[in-house]
Protein backbone atom coordinates (compact mmCIF):
# COMPACT_ATOMS: atom_id res chain seq x y z
CA UNK A 1 0.00 0.00 0.00
CA UNK A 2 1.07 3.61 -0.58
CA UNK A 3 1.31 6.07 2.29
CA UNK A 4 -1.10 8.94 1.77
CA UNK A 5 1.12 11.44 3.59
CA UNK A 6 4.16 10.64 1.44
CA UNK A 7 2.13 11.29 -1.70
CA UNK A 8 0.59 14.53 -0.42
CA UNK A 9 3.94 15.93 0.73
CA UNK A 10 5.56 15.04 -2.60
CA UNK A 11 2.76 16.73 -4.54
CA UNK A 12 3.04 19.85 -2.38
CA UNK A 13 6.82 19.91 -2.81
CA UNK A 14 6.58 19.73 -6.60
CA UNK A 15 3.91 22.42 -6.74
CA UNK A 16 5.81 24.71 -4.39
CA UNK A 17 9.18 24.40 -6.10
CA UNK A 18 8.24 27.07 -8.60
CA UNK A 19 5.54 28.68 -6.48
CA UNK A 20 2.85 27.32 -8.75
CA UNK A 21 0.16 26.96 -6.12
CA UNK A 22 -1.27 24.85 -3.33
CA UNK A 23 -4.00 22.25 -2.97
CA UNK A 24 -5.88 21.88 0.28
CA UNK A 25 -6.29 18.53 2.09
CA UNK A 26 -9.91 18.36 0.91
CA UNK A 27 -8.87 18.94 -2.71
CA UNK A 28 -6.10 16.36 -2.37
CA UNK A 29 -8.51 13.78 -0.93
CA UNK A 30 -10.90 14.21 -3.83
CA UNK A 31 -8.35 14.12 -6.65
CA UNK A 32 -6.31 11.40 -4.92
CA UNK A 33 -9.40 9.20 -4.76
CA UNK A 34 -10.10 9.82 -8.45
CA UNK A 35 -6.48 9.17 -9.48
CA UNK A 36 -6.49 5.87 -7.56
CA UNK A 37 -9.74 4.85 -9.27
CA UNK A 38 -8.26 5.68 -12.71
CA UNK A 39 -5.32 3.36 -12.08
CA UNK A 40 -7.51 0.60 -10.64
CA UNK A 41 -10.01 0.64 -13.52
CA UNK A 42 -7.19 0.24 -16.04
CA UNK A 43 -6.15 -3.13 -14.59
CA UNK A 44 -8.92 -5.12 -16.29
CA UNK A 45 -8.22 -3.76 -19.78
CA UNK A 46 -4.45 -4.03 -19.27
CA UNK A 47 -4.79 -7.64 -18.14
CA UNK A 48 -7.02 -8.48 -21.10
CA UNK A 49 -4.47 -6.96 -23.47
CA UNK A 50 -1.56 -8.83 -21.91
CA UNK A 51 -3.37 -12.17 -22.23
CA UNK A 52 -3.25 -11.66 -26.01
CA UNK A 53 0.51 -11.07 -26.02
CA UNK A 54 3.38 -13.48 -25.61
CA UNK A 55 4.77 -13.38 -22.08
CA UNK A 56 8.27 -14.07 -20.78
CA UNK A 57 9.06 -16.49 -17.98
CA UNK A 58 11.32 -14.24 -15.92
CA UNK A 59 10.44 -13.98 -12.25
CA UNK A 60 9.85 -10.24 -12.01
CA UNK A 61 9.02 -9.14 -15.57
CA UNK A 62 5.96 -11.24 -16.37
CA UNK A 63 3.33 -8.55 -16.98
CA UNK A 64 0.29 -10.76 -16.36
CA UNK A 65 1.72 -11.84 -13.02
CA UNK A 66 2.55 -8.24 -12.11
CA UNK A 67 -0.99 -6.99 -12.82
CA UNK A 68 -2.51 -9.87 -10.89
CA UNK A 69 -0.29 -9.00 -7.93
CA UNK A 70 -1.56 -5.41 -8.06
CA UNK A 71 -5.13 -6.70 -7.93
CA UNK A 72 -4.46 -8.60 -4.70
CA UNK A 73 -5.26 -5.49 -2.65
CA UNK A 74 -8.83 -5.52 -3.95
CA UNK A 75 -9.58 -9.26 -3.97
CA UNK A 76 -11.96 -10.39 -1.26
CA UNK A 77 -14.15 -13.29 -0.20
CA UNK A 78 -17.23 -12.92 1.96
CA UNK A 79 -20.27 -14.93 3.11
CA UNK A 80 -23.56 -13.46 1.88
CA UNK A 81 -26.57 -13.42 4.24
CA UNK A 82 -30.03 -14.30 2.99
CA UNK A 83 -32.75 -11.64 2.88
CA UNK A 84 -35.89 -13.50 3.92
CA UNK A 85 -38.22 -10.62 2.96
CA UNK A 86 -36.90 -10.22 -0.59
CA UNK A 87 -36.07 -13.95 -0.89
CA UNK A 88 -32.62 -13.27 -2.34
CA UNK A 89 -28.98 -12.60 -1.50
CA UNK A 90 -28.28 -8.84 -1.82
CA UNK A 91 -24.70 -7.87 -2.64
CA UNK A 92 -24.66 -4.51 -0.89
CA UNK A 93 -21.88 -3.05 1.24
CA UNK A 94 -20.55 -5.66 3.61
CA UNK A 95 -17.89 -5.93 6.29
CA UNK A 96 -14.25 -6.45 5.42
CA UNK A 97 -13.11 -9.74 6.94
CA UNK A 98 -9.96 -10.83 5.08
CA UNK A 99 -8.49 -7.82 3.31
CA UNK A 100 -5.27 -5.79 3.63
CA UNK A 101 -7.33 -2.81 4.81
CA UNK A 102 -8.88 -1.94 8.14
CA UNK A 103 -10.98 -4.84 9.39
CA UNK A 104 -14.40 -3.58 10.41
CA UNK A 105 -14.75 -1.17 7.50
CA UNK A 106 -17.15 -1.92 4.66
CA UNK A 107 -16.59 -2.88 1.03
CA UNK A 108 -18.44 -1.77 -2.05
CA UNK A 109 -18.67 -4.49 -4.69
CA UNK A 110 -16.89 -3.52 -7.91
CA UNK A 111 -16.93 -6.78 -9.85
CA UNK A 112 -18.36 -10.17 -8.95
CA UNK A 113 -16.08 -13.17 -9.35
CA UNK A 114 -17.08 -16.69 -8.31
CA UNK A 115 -20.18 -17.66 -6.35
CA UNK A 116 -19.82 -20.59 -3.97
CA UNK A 117 -22.41 -22.82 -2.36
CA UNK A 118 -20.91 -24.79 0.53
CA UNK A 119 -17.46 -24.12 -1.01
CA UNK A 120 -18.54 -25.47 -4.40
CA UNK A 121 -18.07 -23.07 -7.32
CA UNK A 122 -21.41 -22.62 -9.10
CA UNK A 123 -19.77 -21.44 -12.32
CA UNK A 124 -21.28 -18.83 -14.63
CA UNK A 125 -24.58 -17.26 -13.66
CA UNK A 126 -27.71 -18.01 -15.68
CA UNK A 127 -29.17 -15.35 -17.96
CA UNK A 128 -32.84 -14.49 -17.24
CA UNK A 129 -33.93 -15.71 -20.68
CA UNK A 130 -32.38 -19.12 -19.95
CA UNK A 131 -33.86 -19.56 -16.49
CA UNK A 132 -37.37 -20.73 -17.39
CA UNK A 133 -36.10 -23.34 -19.83
CA UNK A 134 -33.62 -24.73 -17.30
CA UNK A 135 -36.22 -24.95 -14.53
CA UNK A 136 -38.83 -26.66 -16.70
CA UNK A 137 -36.51 -29.26 -18.19
CA UNK A 138 -36.16 -32.45 -16.08
CA UNK A 139 -32.55 -32.80 -17.21
CA UNK A 140 -31.41 -29.31 -16.21
CA UNK A 141 -33.73 -28.53 -13.33
CA UNK A 142 -31.68 -27.17 -10.38
CA UNK A 143 -31.41 -29.19 -7.19
CA UNK A 144 -29.81 -28.70 -3.78
CA UNK A 145 -26.73 -30.54 -5.07
CA UNK A 146 -26.63 -28.71 -8.40
CA UNK A 147 -28.10 -25.23 -7.90
CA UNK A 148 -28.03 -22.32 -10.35
CA UNK A 149 -28.22 -18.59 -9.79
CA UNK A 150 -29.09 -15.32 -11.52
CA UNK A 151 -27.33 -12.01 -10.96
CA UNK A 152 -29.15 -8.72 -11.58
CA UNK A 153 -28.94 -5.29 -9.92
CA UNK A 154 -26.41 -6.54 -7.34
CA UNK A 155 -28.76 -9.32 -6.24
CA UNK A 156 -28.21 -13.08 -6.33
CA UNK A 157 -31.19 -15.42 -6.64
CA UNK A 158 -30.56 -19.10 -5.99
CA UNK A 159 -32.56 -21.95 -7.48
CA UNK A 160 -34.03 -24.02 -5.95
CA UNK A 161 -35.36 -21.36 -3.60
CA UNK A 162 -34.92 -23.67 -0.61
CA UNK A 163 -31.27 -22.60 -0.50
CA UNK A 164 -31.11 -19.85 2.10
CA UNK A 165 -27.60 -20.22 3.52
CA UNK A 166 -24.09 -21.37 2.67
CA UNK A 167 -23.50 -18.78 -0.06
CA UNK A 168 -20.22 -16.89 -0.35
CA UNK A 169 -18.56 -14.91 -3.14
CA UNK A 170 -15.15 -13.91 -4.43
CA UNK A 171 -15.10 -10.35 -5.71
CA UNK A 172 -13.14 -7.20 -6.46
CA UNK A 173 -13.84 -4.36 -4.05
CA UNK A 174 -13.96 -0.76 -5.20
CA UNK A 175 -10.99 1.22 -3.83
CA UNK A 176 -11.84 3.09 -0.66
CA UNK A 177 -11.85 6.88 -0.79
CA UNK A 178 -8.47 8.03 0.49
CA UNK A 179 -8.22 10.47 3.36
CA UNK A 180 -5.32 12.64 4.48
CA UNK A 181 -6.40 13.09 8.08
CA UNK A 182 -5.11 16.03 10.05
CA UNK A 183 -5.29 18.12 13.17
CA UNK A 184 -4.68 21.86 13.35
CA UNK A 185 -1.76 23.42 15.18
CA UNK A 186 -3.41 25.79 17.69
CA UNK A 187 -0.49 28.24 17.50
CA UNK A 188 0.02 28.51 13.74
CA UNK A 189 -3.15 27.02 12.25
CA UNK A 190 -1.01 24.65 10.17
CA UNK A 191 -2.34 21.26 9.15
CA UNK A 192 -0.64 18.38 10.98
CA UNK A 193 -0.86 14.87 9.53
CA UNK A 194 -2.87 12.42 11.65
CA UNK A 195 -2.17 8.81 10.69
CA UNK A 196 -4.90 7.54 13.02
CA UNK A 197 -7.71 9.13 11.02
CA UNK A 198 -6.14 8.69 7.58
CA UNK A 199 -7.07 6.16 4.90
CA UNK A 200 -4.11 5.02 2.81
CA UNK A 201 -3.98 4.33 -0.92
CA UNK A 202 -4.78 0.67 -1.61
CA UNK A 203 -2.44 0.55 -4.60
CA UNK A 204 0.76 -1.44 -4.93
CA UNK A 205 3.91 0.58 -4.13
CA UNK A 206 5.02 0.28 -7.76
CA UNK A 207 2.18 2.62 -8.72
CA UNK A 208 3.42 5.57 -6.65
CA UNK A 209 5.08 7.45 -9.53
CA UNK A 210 2.02 7.22 -11.78
CA UNK A 211 -0.26 8.09 -8.87
CA UNK A 212 1.67 11.29 -8.15
CA UNK A 213 1.68 12.25 -11.82
CA UNK A 214 -2.08 11.75 -12.09
CA UNK A 215 -2.68 13.83 -8.97
CA UNK A 216 -0.44 16.58 -10.37
CA UNK A 217 -2.43 16.54 -13.62
CA UNK A 218 -5.66 17.12 -11.68
CA UNK A 219 -3.92 19.69 -9.46
CA UNK A 220 -2.88 21.63 -12.55
CA UNK A 221 -6.55 22.00 -13.47
CA UNK A 222 -7.43 23.20 -9.96
CA UNK A 223 -4.68 25.84 -9.84
CA UNK A 224 -5.19 26.65 -13.54
CA UNK A 225 -1.67 25.85 -14.67
CA UNK A 226 -1.76 24.20 -18.12
CA UNK A 227 1.98 23.45 -18.03
CA UNK A 228 1.56 21.09 -15.07
CA UNK A 229 -1.35 19.33 -16.76
CA UNK A 230 0.61 18.91 -20.00
CA UNK A 231 3.81 17.71 -18.33
CA UNK A 232 2.06 15.25 -16.02
CA UNK A 233 -0.22 13.93 -18.78
CA UNK A 234 2.73 13.33 -21.08
CA UNK A 235 4.61 11.48 -18.35
CA UNK A 236 1.57 9.26 -17.71
CA UNK A 237 1.18 8.52 -21.42
CA UNK A 238 4.86 7.61 -21.80
CA UNK A 239 4.72 5.29 -18.80
CA UNK A 240 1.53 3.60 -20.00
CA UNK A 241 2.95 3.07 -23.48
CA UNK A 242 6.13 1.57 -22.05
CA UNK A 243 4.17 -0.86 -19.84
CA UNK A 244 1.96 -2.08 -22.69
CA UNK A 245 4.60 -2.63 -25.33
185 within domain boundaries: no
Q: Is there a single domain that holds both residue 62 and residue 21?
A: yes
Q: Is there a single domain that holds both residue 82 and residue 149?
A: yes
Classify 163 as helix, strand or coil. coil
Task: Tell whether the model's pLDDT for residue 178 goes beyond 60.
Answer: yes
Q: What is the mean pLDDT of the chain?
A: 82
Q: Is there a single domain that holds both residue 29 and residue 63?
A: yes
Global pTM reads 0.77
Report how far residue 148's alpha carbon sits from residue 201's, in angstroms, rounded to the nearest whole number. 37
Q: Provide the residue range defining the domain that includes 36.
A: 4-70+192-244
What integer pLDDT is reported at residue 66 of this predicted model? Answer: 78
Q: Is there a single domain that holds both residue 55 and residue 112?
A: no
Tell me the per-residue pLDDT of 19-59, one tens digit each, with 9 for 90 and over. Answer: 667 889 999 999 999 999 999 988 877 677 766 666 666 66
The phi-psi region of residue 195 (left if phi > 0; otherwise alpha if psi is between -120 and 50; otherwise beta) is alpha
Q: Is there a single domain that holds both residue 80 and residue 154?
A: yes
- Percent of the chain beyond pLDDT 70? 77
- The structural domain count of the chain equals 2
Spell out where 122-243 has E strands: 148-152, 155-159, 167-173, 182-184, 191-193
Tell me the per-residue pLDDT of 125-170, one tens digit each, with 9 for 90 and over. Answer: 888 888 888 888 888 888 888 899 999 888 999 999 899 999 999 9
186 within domain boundaries: no
Report how far residue 169's alpha carbon sits from residue 88's, in angstroms, rounded to the nearest whole number. 14
Amino acid sequence: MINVNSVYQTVLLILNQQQRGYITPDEFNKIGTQAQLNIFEAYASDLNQQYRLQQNDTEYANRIKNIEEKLQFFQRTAPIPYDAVAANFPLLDFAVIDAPVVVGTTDTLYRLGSVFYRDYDLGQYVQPNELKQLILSPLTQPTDKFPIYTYENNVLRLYPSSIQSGISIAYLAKPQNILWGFTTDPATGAYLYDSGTSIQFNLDVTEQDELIMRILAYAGVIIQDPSIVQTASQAIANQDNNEKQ
